Structure 1
């Protein structure tokens, strides 16, 4: 006991350096720097951190009178004191007023072996990226927002990058396509914001994930043999685009497993007409998500069925639906004809229908799915409108194991129909 009191042991300081580094990386940067006052051994532990994150939490503690120049001074001091490579750097500051303020920072990082870079600066709006960014040849992940991506003529791409994420990033004509094709290891590409990218050609032999809500005239997956997840949810599309050629755009994706499409893009695809089946089969597609399908239009309902019929191994279907009973006759006749076809959705396990309002086309569509899905396990129907339970009792199903679940979106309450036609309240969701 006396020996323990007279010779106290600093157990934390005696931890291996890699453990101390892991602890510091879990702290906000300001707290990691503050550990330098704990002891002599801790004074310089933080200067070797491979990850640096500068965000608005630093503004609250470090700036007076909302002066971003003070924050920039702090950032430069940290970088000048830093010893060793900076693998990951994040700058997410809402108060910066000029893109030129970050130019020296990027120049320092380009000489420091940066591998993961995030520049999330919401207030600048379209600042031009410094040329030093394009010399960061060790980059593996790049996240940019609110800027203009205009590389110098000598730029030959990022040879090691695997992830590109662009939020409200402007590209001169043709630059985005050339960028993608010059990143041979690229696996993930995400485009967000109401930007216009004209004709988008995807030449990326290792690409596995693609997500976009941008606007473009057309998109061509000319070389993306490994692309497994695709999400295209544009709020708008260019009506002058090559709509008639787009219906078969997914034929170039032999291993696609998850597909999400927004209504605007669906309307764009069906301008040239909808075949009963695609010219190819999506053999590996397991998840299909469709936003805002208008069940009162034959073309949109036909497109949904076309995708399902062309996906023999589809397991999960999610649809946001809306419609009215006005002019519902043609759709009801179309679905009635489909009912007597020999089509069967043999692998479909889970269906989720959102915004159900009880109209006849919606009800008819759900009945059709239930009657054609022998392996169905769950049918979840979400509705914010009052729909009588007796409406659901009319649903017949071919699968002996299916649970039909109705969820009241307003009251967040669910009711179950399991292997029969007797509803019972089971509790809050």
Structure 2
């Protein structure tokens, strides 16, 4: 009596070798080349084909969120761009006007090692009413173009910016609590931009600023009057600020004006940690310390740690 089961299994085994699975046996470079011809949604679906194809689509050299990407969704869903979390690492933008206005449901945006086009200036605009966290790290251009970063995110609570930027403006940030600003190139507006963040974020708790030296003393002096006017407005208070960390301090007048305002406008401040730039002279550091000790402090608990 013939038993069909084992014979069928043998046939299956004979037909399941590498010769029978052409898709899985393709080399990785050919798979990546094939994926470049597919729309984003279709490329993502190839993850189910086999282990060799799983998540290979994320290595595509370009990603386009065009009409074809949103087409399978209903019109009302596509219009609102339901994407909530977006992380882009090691990719490039082709336009000098970058905007996330259409992603109305976005709550987290994390961009790292992004290359922007070589242009006179790049504008980076964030208009996401539900955005909670915004991270922009090591994003620059080949020719050193400065970035203008404008964020209109009323729900923003965490902002981390590291790179070669010329201006940072956060419009109306009532929920912003943690800010890390790290300037990687010499820009005369960096301290001023950091102070703008404080003024526009009344609930800021923690602030970390790392700056580079001012380009020239002449540009530095041009900023003094503007900063002093803002510092003199009593309505601008950093009332919730608890901790401040300032790195690479040069002791120039714009930085000192910013520190003076922070101490005078922060009644809840507990600690201000300051680290001098290794390029600063010992004599300049001594004079800076004297100036710091003479600044008025709104908080009796505020400690300056060098």
The answer for unaligned runs of 5 or more in structure 2 is 1-17, 49-54
Which ranges in structure 1 are unaligned for 5 or more consecutive residues? 1-72, 81-95, 104-125, 160-179, 271-277, 407-429
1:377, 1:399 within 8 Å by CA — same for their partners in 2? yes
Deviation at 1:347, TM superposition (A): 1.1
Higher relative contact order, structure no. (Cα contacts within 8 Å, ≥ 6 residues apart): 2
TM-score (norm 2): 0.64
Matched, 1:227 2:131: yes
Q: Quick one: distance in 1 between partners of 2:159 and 2:228?
A: 27
Residue matched to 1:352: 245
Q: Is the 8 A contact 1:355 1:383 kept in 2?
A: yes
Structure 2 matches for 1:3-152, cutoff 5 A? Answer: 98-100=28-30, 103=31, 127=33, 129=35, 131=38, 133-135=43-45, 144-145=58-59, 147-149=61-63
Could you tell me how far apart the structure 2 residues matched to 1:339 and 1:151 are?
Answer: 43
Aligned-residue CA RMSD (Å): 4.4
> 1:263 Cα deviation (Å)?
5.3
Q: Is the contact made by 2:192 and 2:254 (CA closer than 8 Å) also made in structure 1? A: no
Shift of 1:220: 4.6
TM-score for both structures, normalised by structure 1: 0.48
Cα gap change, 1:200 to 1:237, in 2 (>3 Å): farther
| 1:186 and 1:207 in contact (8 A); partners too | yes
Counterpart Cα distance in 2 of 1:290 and 1:381: 15
**Who is 2:256 aligned against?**
363
Once the 2 structures are TM-superposed, how far is the Cα of residue 376 of structure 1 from its aligned partner?
A: 0.9
CA contact (8 A) 1:294 1:301 kept: no
1:315-334 matched pairs, under 5 angstroms: 315-324=205-214, 326-327=217-218, 328-334=220-226
In the alignment, does 2:195 pair up with 1:305?
A: yes
| Cα distance in structure 1, aligned partners of 2:187 and 2:65 | 47
Aligned to 1:398: 298
Residue deviations 1:296-351, cap 9 Å, x none? 73x54443333321211111211112225722433344444444321211111111
Q: Distance in 1 between matches of 2:275 and 2:260?
A: 15
* Aligned 1:151-300 pairs, distance under 5 A: 186-193=83-90, 195-198=92-95, 199-202=97-100, 203-213=102-112, 214=114, 215=116, 217-221=122-126, 224-233=128-137, 234-236=139-141, 249-251=150-152, 253-262=153-162, 264-267=164-167, 281-292=172-183, 297=188, 299-300=189-190
2:267 aligned with 1:341, yes or no?
no
Aligned-pair distance for 1:379? 0.9
1:235, 1:262 within 8 Å by CA — same for their partners in 2? Answer: no
Tell me the CA shift for residue 373 of structure 1: 1.0
* Deviation (angstroms), 1:184: 5.5
